[in-house]
Amino acid sequence: MKIDHKKLQTRIPVTSDFIKIDNTKCTLCDRCLIICVMNLWKKRGDTVYLVDDYASHCLECGACYQVCESDAIDFRFPDGGTGIIIEQG
């Protein structure tokens, strides 16, 4: 049976950036690009960046932050609580 995961997610609008990258620390290792299940990290030339509307798709899993060994990614949960609620049932 195919599960429609979108129906399990309730999204709360996020008003400010909650993930930032410091490109001066980035070593272009690609770990964030590989780990993000939502494919929100991109690389163009020598620059790694998040897609513009990442906040609308990010699962707030923190995996990109965890795998960045260069401390180039700053992650915190959005102001006022998380922007996503996963419902089960």
Query: In the complex, which residues of this chain contact ligand SF4 (CB under 6 A)?
Result: 19, 21, 26-32, 35-36, 38, 40, 48, 54, 58-64, 67-68, 70, 72-73
Nearer to ligand SF4, 34 or 80 (CB): 34
Sorted by sequence, the CB contacts under 8 Å of residue 43 that are 6+ apart come out as 28, 30, 33, 49
Question: How near is the Cβ of 84 to ligand SF4 at its closest, in Å?
Answer: 10
For the chain, helix, strand, coil in percent to 5 are 20, 20, 60
The dihedral formed by the CA atoms of 48, 14, 74 and 43, expressed in degrees to the nearest 10: -10
Nearer to ligand SF4, 1 or 37 (CB): 37
Nearer to ligand SF4, 1 or 53 (CB): 53
* Token digits of residue 58: 């990010």
Question: How near is the Cβ of 20 to ligand SF4 at its closest, in Å?
Answer: 10
Question: How near is the Cβ of 82 to ligand SF4 at its closest, in Å?
Answer: 11
